Structure 1
């Protein structure tokens, strides 16, 4: 059963900014912004830790108060777009998508209807 979301986008962005770092590696950094084209959506930019200088851009859109759809938009290495099909990128992407879903589950306490 789908639950209606009962949270404005700016509160959603703030909640994700607070919670998401807990699900990422300690050296990763993240920026969460409102998706201006989708009131139930977020744009998430992750700078991966390590010497590879990878950054990942995701669209995260709420289907309901508990479930999100996550799409990889772009992967860059040191500011240059890279092939998203390499094994290393696929592995990192899968990890980040899993972490985004875990964060959405944790945030259900703030996204669930009253």
Structure 2
């Protein structure tokens, strides 16, 4: 029997739920890709493509600590398929904005992840 606070959904269903919900949390022009983390059954890999001339792609790992809490970790930032230093002010603002959106998405999925 699983502990009450343990994630009780398989990774395929979790990824599918995120694919469905995340675009509703982001702006219409932003694109996202959600995949299973092959090395961690309680985590997803998410890429967000920022529209416009910036052409940034932000890669995150979203890991479920338990059925309600996620840990959002920035993995990489790329511009035109080249990794860039994410410490600049503009990129840091983007990183924090998207981390907030990822937490919003996780909250929206509580009814699915917390049973």
Q: Over residues 3-39 of structure 1, what are the superposed CA-to-partner deviations in whole Å (9 max), with x where a residue is unaligned?
A: 1111000000000000001111111100000001100
- Alpha-carbon distance, 1:72 to partner: 0.3
> Structure 2: which 5+ runs fail to align?
none
SS of residue in 1 equivalent to 2:44: strand
SS of corresponding position for 1:97: helix
Size of the aligned set, in residue pairs, is: 112
- The yes-or-no answer on 1:37 pairing with 2:39 is yes
**Corresponding residue SS for 1:91:** helix
Distance 1:94 1:29 in 2: 17
Q: RMSD across aligned C-alpha pairs, in angstroms?
A: 0.9
The CA distance in 2 between the partners of 1:50 and 1:66, in whole Å, is 34
How far apart, CA to CA, are the structure 2 residues paired with 1:25 and 1:56? 15
